Structure 1
Amino acid sequence: MKKNSLIKRLMSMFLVGTMTILATGCQSTAETNSSNNTGQEKVIDNDAPATGEGSTGMGRYVENVTDLSEYCERSDSIEKMSDGKLIIADYYMGQIVSEDNGLTWNPKEADWFSALDARDTYIMDIAIGKDGTTGVIYHDGDSEEKEEQESEDKEFELNPVCMIIKPDKTQMEAQFSLTEDEKYPYGIWVSDSGRVFVTTLGNTIYEVKEDGSSEKFLTVDGRPEMIRIQDNLMLIDGNSFENGILIYDMDKEEYMEDEVLSDFIMENYPERGVNGSGTYDFYFFTGEEGVLYMAGKQGLHRHVLGGSAIEQVIDGSLSSFSNPANGLIGMVALENNEFLTLFSGGKLVHYVYNSEIPSVPSENLTVYSLEESDTMRQAISIYQTNNPDVFIEYEVGIDDNNSVTREDALKKLNTRIMAGEGPDLFVMDNMPVDSYIEKGMLLDLSFCLEGMTGDAQLFTNIVDAFKKNGGIYTIPCEVQLPLVLGKEKYVTEINNMESLAAAMEALRRDNPDGGLLDIYSESAWIRLLSMVSAPAWKTESGALEEVAVSEFLKGAKQMYDTQMEGALEKDIDRYNSVDDYYMTEYGTTREEGDYFGVTDEMSYIGGRTRIVLGTLSNSYSYASLNSVHRVNGFEDSVLLPLSGQSTNVFIPKTLVGISSASANTEMAQELLKVLLGKENQSSLFKGLAVNKAAFEESFVPNEEYLEEDGLYGSLAMSDEDGMMVSMDVYWVDEEQLQKLRDWMANADTPYVKDSVLEDAVCEEGVNYIQGSKSLEEAVSAIVEKVAIYMAE
């Protein structure tokens, strides 16, 4: 089903934000697991579901994978019917059925789906009960087409229809009387006995009666995102639920307390919800009478409702659950303690218990990073699936709460290394890379990298950029590229700090009021400009280039002053309020967050900014940036690499090194090959692939959404004043792709963040820009602050 026109409009609506662009067994005696799984947890076997004291240490679940991508474009769930059949419902492809516990699958004809397909409807949610009762919420494509004909500029609104299909195939449309805040039917669920429940954008759950009428059933605090019903119990969860799952006794009309369950959820899945692609961070489903299964990155756990323990069934760190590329769509329990899990992309995993293999792999490899890396998590999952005898322990120095500082984490790590207990492989982002190399702590990767050919071939210039002291000691798994987007007359001559400052001044002359960039703090300007200048601040031997630092601060001040000349008070206040939010929620400033530097072409189109400076990290962003010149009034916009004090800059991400003291260098190199291999590189989280084959694959569009003229989607945003901005996104053509290939091939200057040096430059740079120190005083203070560090 091609629904490009409708999907474009729906994407626009769902991306709207405030100027932000917006995927019964035996009761266990095992203790509740903590969120810091290390792989040393208990497992169950078929005859004794809970292992405890006296466990033989043998047996764990293994995975059998089936590719259902042919049938699963945007699947909703996997359900087990009362007759034992399994059904997967897909919004675009219809339904498929298995009668042999998931071994084979066949399409199922459904009259209601064919009728909706013919009308070009957009399905928003599907639910199927064990008795065959089906509920579907959809938006009618015919009404959307009429809306477009009436007014191309009219704000798009959803008007969903909720339809119920009974087991005898009779159909009826459910009727609701909703408030303005509730807007429309949003989610639908069907109990085993065929009772139908519907949620809206509000916090009330409605029940649909046999005649199609509806009545309020239950009101909760927050919007329900997931409902499961077992006999008389309704289990409800949502991303704003602060105490875990609500358990509501529908017969007694009262809530049931389960502190063990609540504590487990809040410890292991405190932040959870439904992602844009319809996947869950935390998924639960019912099993035998009174049993609840819970799945997520920690694996699969089982709990007897009201019981005193949580039992781990499948260890997340030893399974596909820990792979961040696997969006969890649904899961069911089969006979003999087997399970089927449907992940995004049509990946169906059958978990089967094998009592002949050790519960914990016999070989061990340790990986370390300061902050958790999804790219590393994904590679670990791939590696362990192919090497079940190896357990990879992934250690993260700074937890999600930032309760440990970078300095304390590094001190603890270095103490372990000195004691001979260091990790085998490092993710070296925000670590003192040069120091590790100079001290001989990293293995030369040259031989390992030379063997990577064919689909494993890397961009040689990226590899060569890390040659140092006769070897290659670190290599990035992904890269970002600094860029500038703006009107041709302003940006084509930008090739250094001076020309960038001149472009800013020209923009200010022609635009006296408003922001040139949406950045209104001295430190943020310094951080942004550092990515194309910091490589020039040190000599090849690692000494400080004082002249370069001095010139940088002069340029940064010049550009900041130019920005603030026409800054509006409301924009400054809004920027500061967002920064306050970052400090409250994440304990860090906005410019220190992961998304600082992400391109904001929508603010450019909307007139909030006059130029775009940022980083390119994925193919869709590149398509979006290249679509700006198609917007009325922006035909003369061009996209170019950004230079500052350095040129041909790239930003390495997931920078990896192997410990020279490791006793497991062979396994570490095999994991490195997985990190850089096509499978892992085809789905990255922070940048463009350094693997050439994966880079090319990332620019192959999904034909389902590609129209003949190249139209691929749409973006939209709004601000607090009610202004709406939208833009059609056209997929990358060959000329644009070749431009990016050349850009990638010419990148030879890595910007590897040196936190000690950059923090000193930022702190003293702010003092200089604010006028509390002269330029000479600021540079002198920087020299003093980094003197000992530089000498190490």
Structure 2
Amino acid sequence: MGKVNNKYGLVALSSVFALSMFGCTKVGSAAEMGRYIEEFYDAPEGIYDVRDLRVLSDGTIGMLAYGEKEIELYISDDECQNWNRKEINLPQGDSENSMLSVNNAILSKDGNIFISYYFYDYMKSEEDENLKEESVDDNAEDATDDKYFEPEYKYAFIDDEGSIHDISLDEISQNTAEDEDMSYSRYYYTFKFAKNGDIVFSNDNGMIYQLDPASGEIKNEFVLDDSYISDFTTVGDSLVIVGGNSVKEYSLESGKELGNIKPLESEVLYENNSNFYGISNIFSDDDKTIYYTSTTGLYKYKLGEKEVEQIIEGSLSSIGDDNMYISTFVVGKDNTFLACGQDYNSYEVGTSIIRFTYSADTPKVPENQITVYSLYENYQIRQNIVLYQKANPDIYIKLEIGTSGEDAVTESDALRTLNTEIMAGKGPDIILLDGMSEAYFEQGLLEDISDVIADYTKNDLLFENIIDAYTDKNGKVYSIPTKITIPVVVGKTEYVSSVTDLQTLSAALVKSAENSGKANDDKYVEMYTPSMLVSMLYYANGSTWLNEDNTINEDNIKEFLEETKNIYDAYLATYDEAQYEEYKESMQSYIDEYGEDIGIYYLDNYLNPMSIMNESSKKLAVGVISGRDFIEYMYSLSKGNQDISYALINGQTSGVFVPKNLMGINAKSDNKEIAKKFIAYLLSEESQSKESYDGLPINKAAFDKISEYPYADEFVGENGEGYSEDQSIGTWGFSNENGTTVELKVYWPTKEYFNNFKAEIESLKSPVTVNTIVLEEVAKAFDKYANGNATLDEVVKNIGDNIDLILAE
């Protein structure tokens, strides 16, 4: 019954095949000449966090940044190479202890400044800082007397002669509070100067306002009929608003809507471009041109035209570097671009000033090129490409995405196209195998990369057990993950310690649900749809659902469905009928938006051990460890005498890990040496020690590095002391269902704690290969079985029959 061919072992939601990562945007070919190159300049000493950068009316560059005097103004007459500080008047408090805090500042082309700010009492702040807070355990009292005092935000317009003009926005705040039954003042943010000197700004109720700073009059109010406002910019006499579902133009003169901007909507809305990561900066330098940046580069659009043009390729510049937070961008002289940002590539964060200059004699892309293919968008690989290319400017790495849109083409269609290209000798150089099957190396499509691995293993730099899992009997390695995640259970030690197999896992989850009590209006108890539960438990069980000859293992599937139904019924019992109907309506809205297979997101269910502190939560959870934060939280809980622990999960199998970024080289590639160098980089300490949440490093040195407290040198304790092991580094807290605050002191784990976790990594032996065909069929079958629409025998038979039908197609 039901044979399964592994070549259909895919994982992800259905989407489309795309020939290139650039969609419909204009890009040049490898033979073209000309691209922007970047230069870095020193920022003025002592500044941090540039708030605004502006080309002034006299052609100089003005910059507002935080510094010794809170907010400071600097002027450059050589396009950011050198700076002179210019004194500005700032508001003063009522007493010598009143300290100014500027939370937003913008600069106009005429040299006018607008700031939002508040004052705080310096002495009271110092006293609050010295208050010692105690960690809590399960029996600790909640902090009931903690109150949050919202700052009194003020606004000021500082003209180019230094005069300060107070501006009141209280009327807007009061009107909003009356409309929404809120008694607190509104917080305004994202202020921008328009061409005519007006100030356009947004607030947290989804409105955008146009203010005349001279009169204090609100000239126009703009309401975007959308889910949220992502960003906006002024272009001449127009306002362009980017929302969650639309991009619209408005007139700053009449306040009227002028229509949707379709070319921008096709590029910057997720529904049209699922590979788009969002706008980082959006700005304009004339009456028609809009520029915006995202991870993939700098783009240009002229109002009224039909296409968006890519100006700078993100992977060939700092624009694509996620650790380079570029906060401001302007157009300089002779088509140059100037930017300021914070460089987070090391723990010593500094301000960077970057000048992008067009070089007609530089190839549009470097001559040495390789292509990395991934079925799905992979942000971490994209970031590694950026960092590698910055260190190796003679190499260009193109990331090609197989599934990227809303078309009807499936993953299997994308794989068929990929196979055709590989067999014709036109395929990519590196293949990211996540979501693909073992059939690739079984068919001899992948190159042996054991020589790359040997350079690390001879010095014991990689976890040997992970390498062994990908080494065949002849000592060859055809694929290797760069990261792994680890399925675990976390919760009350009583439950965690009892889990040894699927039956005890089920019993523990049922008991934790029963002991959590009935849900009520003030108490949230989590609930999962049947498909969510199947996905959440897949890693510990799914690899046993097929026999070695690829026939379905009916006994294991039956056992899984029976035990999972016990869990589902126990969770369901925590809701009354009305609450559960409300929950189903909520889940249906998610299904309508994201599709029937939304449950597959729970394959990698994120775990935050701190959530177990909440009395309203169940005291046992299943998920994956995908980053260092899990270890930090668990250690702090143990220090707080919390009766909470974790363990590697045991179900129908044990000792499992999930490979992430599984890389292989096309055996027909003409660029194997470059491809091997890039994979070697991905396995290096430099690459793997970058903090991320896509998995844990398999490089031992990188693991040891992330176990070190990164801020030890800058740490100052409550009494002025430096950092020492096992010292509190802060406090974590939340409000429970009764509205009281629960706090826990946070500690950095000791070396011993990290080493114990490292030993657990070294005990793992079995990578989990996700077979989406089987997973989806089991999930659909369990939905019928759990809701009483079919018997156990009926749904198991359907699983096999449906898989047979799929393969027959």
Superposed pair shares fold, TM > 0.5: yes
Give yes or no for the alignment of 1:615 onto 2:624.
yes
Q: Deviations over 1:174-203 (max 9, x none)?
A: 212122158233332235675444432231
Q: How many residues align?
A: 730
Opposite residue 655 of structure 1, the aligned amino acid is L
Opposite residue 80 of structure 2, the aligned amino acid is G
Pairing partner for 1:292 from 290, 293, 296:
290
Q: Tell me whether 699-708 or 550-559 shows the greater mean CA deviation.
A: 699-708
Q: 1:160 to 1:580 in 2, by over 3 A?
A: farther
Does the 8 A contact of 1:129 with 1:194 survive in 2?
yes
Does the 8 A contact of 1:324 with 1:377 survive in 2?
no
Alignment correspondent of 1:62: 37
Pairing partner for 2:424 from 419, 444, 458:
419
Secondary structure of 1:593's match? helix
Pairing partner for 1:498 from 497, 503, 518:
503
Matches within 5 A, 1:274-285: 281-285=279-283
Pairing partner for 2:312 from 311, 314, 338:
314
Opposite residue 748 of structure 2, the aligned amino acid is V
Give yes or no for the alignment of 1:239 onto 2:243.
yes
Gap runs ≥5 in structure 2: 1-19, 132-142, 272-276, 344-350, 719-726
Distance 2:638 2:728 in 1: 14
Does the 8 A contact of 1:78 with 1:87 survive in 2?
yes
CA displacement at 1:374 relative to structure 2: 0.4
Opposite residue 89 of structure 1, the aligned amino acid is A
Q: 1:781 to 1:580 in 2, by over 3 A?
A: closer
Opposite residue 152 of structure 1, the aligned amino acid is D
Alignment correspondent of 1:218: 221
Q: 1:642 to 1:716 in 2, by over 3 A?
A: same
Does the 8 A contact of 1:39 with 1:315 survive in 2?
no
Alignment correspondent of 2:251: 248
Q: 1:788 to 1:201 in 2, by over 3 A?
A: closer
CA displacement at 1:718 relative to structure 2: 8.2
Alignment correspondent of 1:392: 397
Give yes or no for the alignment of 1:89 onto 2:65.
yes
What TM-score results when the alignment is normalised by the length of structure 2?
0.78
Alignment correspondent of 1:650: 657
Q: 1:269 to 1:488 in 2, by over 3 A?
A: same
CA displacement at 1:680 relative to structure 2: 3.7
Secondary structure of 1:413's match? helix
Opposite residue 618 of structure 2, the aligned amino acid is T
Secondary structure of 2:673's match? helix
Secondary structure of 1:329's match? strand
Opposite residue 23 of structure 2, the aligned amino acid is N
Alignment correspondent of 1:199: 202
Q: Deviations over 1:315-344 (max 9, x none)?
A: 345444344555442212222322123355
Alignment correspondent of 1:564: 572
Pairing partner for 1:335 from 327, 333, 336:
333
Pairing partner for 2:114 from 135, 142, 145:
135
Pairing partner for 1:370 from 371, 375, 378:
375
Q: Deviations over 1:502-528 (max 9, x none)?
A: 323433553453499723322222211
Q: 1:159 to 1:486 in 2, by over 3 A?
A: farther
Q: 1:120 to 1:541 in 2, by over 3 A?
A: farther
Q: 1:486 to 1:226 in 2, by over 3 A?
A: closer
Give yes or no for the alignment of 1:676 onto 2:655.
no
CA displacement at 1:778 relative to structure 2: 4.6
Q: Tell me whether 354-363 or 303-312 shows the greater mean CA deviation.
A: 303-312
Q: 1:208 to 1:408 in 2, by over 3 A?
A: same
Q: 1:108 to 1:134 in 2, by over 3 A?
A: same
Q: 1:132 to 1:540 in 2, by over 3 A?
A: farther
Alignment correspondent of 1:449: 453
CA displacement at 1:455 relative to structure 2: 11
Pairing partner for 1:758 from 771, 775, 780:
775
Alignment correspondent of 1:162: 155
Opposite residue 188 of structure 2, the aligned amino acid is P
Q: 1:777 to 1:361 in 2, by over 3 A?
A: same
Q: Deviations over 1:332-387 (max 9, x none)?
A: 22223221233553454432222222224434322222211001211222333344
Distance 2:773 2:245 in 1: 40
Does the 8 A contact of 2:457 with 2:464 survive in 1?
no
Secondary structure of 1:552's match? helix
Q: 1:548 to 1:372 in 2, by over 3 A?
A: same
Matches within 5 A, 1:78-157: 78-82=53-57, 84-90=60-66, 95=72, 97=74, 99=76, 100-103=78-81, 112=90, 123-142=102-121, 152-154=145-147, 157=150
Q: 1:139 to 1:458 in 2, by over 3 A?
A: farther
Secondary structure of 1:582's match? helix
Opposite residue 743 of structure 1, the aligned amino acid is E
Which structure's relative contact order is higher, taking Cα pairs within 8 Å and 6+ residues apart?
A: 2
Distance 1:595 1:705 in 2: 38
Matches within 5 A, 1:422-437: 422-432=427-437, 434-437=438-441
Opposite residue 730 of structure 1, the aligned amino acid is V
Alignment correspondent of 1:354: 359
% same residue? 24
Q: 1:778 to 1:198 in 2, by over 3 A?
A: closer
Distance 2:72 2:409 in 1: 49
Q: Tell me whether 101-110 or 648-657 shows the greater mean CA deviation.
A: 101-110
Does the 8 A contact of 1:517 with 1:612 survive in 2?
no
Does the 8 A contact of 1:590 with 1:596 survive in 2?
no
Alignment correspondent of 2:593: 585
Secondary structure of 1:404's match? coil
Q: Tell me whether 348-357 or 136-145 shows the greater mean CA deviation.
A: 136-145
Does the 8 A contact of 2:50 with 2:341 survive in 1?
no
CA displacement at 1:613 relative to structure 2: 1.9
Alignment correspondent of 2:746: 730
Does the 8 A contact of 2:508 with 2:620 survive in 1?
no
Alignment correspondent of 1:36: 23
Q: 1:561 to 1:389 in 2, by over 3 A?
A: same
Q: 1:387 to 1:467 in 2, by over 3 A?
A: same
Opposite residue 635 of structure 1, the aligned amino acid is Q
Does the 8 A contact of 1:41 with 1:312 survive in 2?
no
Give yes or no for the alignment of 1:688 onto 2:666.
no
Q: Deviations over 1:441-474 (max 9, x none)?
A: 2222221122248999433332222223432222
Does the 8 A contact of 1:504 with 1:516 survive in 2?
no
Gap runs ≥5 in structure 1: 1-32, 44-55, 273-278
Q: Deviations over 1:234-270 (max 9, x none)?
A: 43424346134x25343xx3558587xx222111111
What CA RMSD, in Å, does the superposition of the two structures yield over aligned residues?
4.3
Q: 1:195 to 1:462 in 2, by over 3 A?
A: same
Opposite residue 684 of structure 1, the aligned amino acid is S
Distance 2:761 2:509 in 1: 26
Q: 1:41 to 1:57 in 2, by over 3 A?
A: closer
Distance 1:117 1:647 in 2: 64
Alignment correspondent of 1:301: 299
Distance 2:405 2:739 in 1: 35
Does the 8 A contact of 1:401 with 1:586 survive in 2?
no
Pairing partner for 2:607 from 599, 614, 631:
599
Distance 1:753 1:70 in 2: 52
Opposite residue 748 of structure 1, the aligned amino acid is K
Give yes or no for the alignment of 1:188 onto 2:191.
yes
Alignment correspondent of 1:458: 462
Distance 1:774 1:490 in 2: 30
Matches within 5 A, 1:43-54: none
